[in-house]
Amino acid sequence: EDDAHALRIVRNIVATLPARKELPWAVRESEEPAVDPAGLYGAVPADSRTPYDVREVIARIVDGSRFQEFKAEYGQTLVTGFAHVHGHPVGIVANNGILFSESAQKGAHFIELCDQRGIPL
* More confident site: 63 or 15: 63
Neighbour count for residue 67 (Cβ, 10 Å): 19
Q: What is the pLDDT of residue 5?
A: 92
The percent of residues above 90 in pLDDT, for the chain, comes to 72
Of 107, 86, 111, 108, the residue nearest 25 (C-alpha): 86
pLDDT at position 67 over 90: yes
Domains and CATH numbers, the chain: 24-117 (3.90.226.10)
pLDDT at position 10 over 80: yes
H/E stretch holding 14: helix 3-15
Q: What is the pLDDT of residue 24?
A: 73
Distance CA 67, CA 50 (A): 24
Which tens digits make up the pLDDT trace of 28-39? 899 999 999 999
The percent of residues above 70 in pLDDT, for the chain, comes to 100
Look up the pTM and report it.
0.78
Which tens digits make up the pLDDT trace of 74-121? 999 999 999 999 999 999 999 998 899 999 999 999 999 999 999 999
